[in-house]
Structure 1
């Protein structure tokens, strides 16, 4: 508001770069790729194991042509979809509340951005390509080609051995660097994990299983993990439900072990926040972004449904 009491709505309208908030998972843990203003774009993918090399050709004076190898060059697609939100602000709040204008600019607008990133996280985990999430792309739960661990008909009680099963299911080519891996579990299963670690930690040496590693680069930016399993961080993921149905059980959950290089975010445009006037002396703030998720190697997503509370 200027010195004459006029509300400067142009100060509210602004375009943001997508800066990850501390509580966001996808924006902090996975690389964002620019879409260059297109809805769908193909990105290159390469299999390093397809390269082959030969020793001693120079020293043995080999006259034959070298052997060609195939790194399996291909592409994977990311398609973005719009995500929008709206919030009304009454003039009376801005005019007669001493902190009204500052609240809108310093708290409300950043809060809308935080809320949008939480909506991105929820879709990033739970989307299967249908409403209420985007129909353009699938999240971790619906990723085609993911490594799926089978559970019992009615689910299985959570145990520490289950964490090892996750890790062994990860393709061997993706297991060599724990700093690129992360577990994602519902908060209630994280509580079970901590309880089981505490019960197992003895003077015999079992404490190492959940010990915090010394190398800080094992931890991604953003939220602090609830613990570690074999140097791999375990994150309490607010949007993962514990009320899924597995056979006759209704208290099941889905957990994930993810190679963080195998999930990519497509950014179609910077976040836009704009106001427009409405009858009744109100301003409607609207926020919009275009975002999608793609998978260079979906086998790097290990998921297991039917995880029930610990016994």
Structure 2
């Protein structure tokens, strides 16, 4: 018995072996998840990356809580407990944004080792390499944030709102961290070594986090710096988290700037804008760098 193809001009083997075509969005999502899994497996095999990523924010919690607590006035009160609750949203936000350096260093390392060139030889979506990396960093940041929240509870931090509002606060923090990871991706694609990516990912974060309302009330700053702090996207997320956690001290004056009056909306808008702008720039840089 002989088998005939329904299409006499086509090869039966080719018809059987050809994969079904996938849409662009489906392929991009699947490829991104594969890259994210690859990066998570890699992170799990280098536990010191996770350990050191947790130690630094824990040190900030302990040092700021016990060294500065009681010496900084918040809403007219110098109570260590009041400052501790005021502080924690800033520490959380600093932790998620400092993950930017790790994202940039990881991408720069992949570029340096030629791994990106190997990805280029595969039939995969171009943006999947960067999206997968940022998703893996988001998972690591979530783990770090959970550990940090436990430490904060141990030193006396408390929330005073519903569970849904608390989770929404952490969601805004993670959204900010994800947005900033795209800035790290662009830095990682723009430098030649992982060391340069680490330095480039941190040098601009210090003024961004300290010229904000994270550690001291913006009202204590000179007028010029106060204006910068009030319109800082970092400050908007910190203010939103404090509001959702119920950590705004009684009598704490809310600045007249629009982001401080509507911190939740401002935080979402800032984060989405950063993702859109820096993802576009990162994918464009990735294509030109690997062309």
TM-score under structure 2 normalisation? Answer: 0.23
Give the structure with higher Rg (CA): 1
- TM-score (normalised: structure 1): 0.22
Greater RCO structure (CA 8 Å; 6+ sep): 1
Higher strand share: 1
**Greater fraction helix:** 2
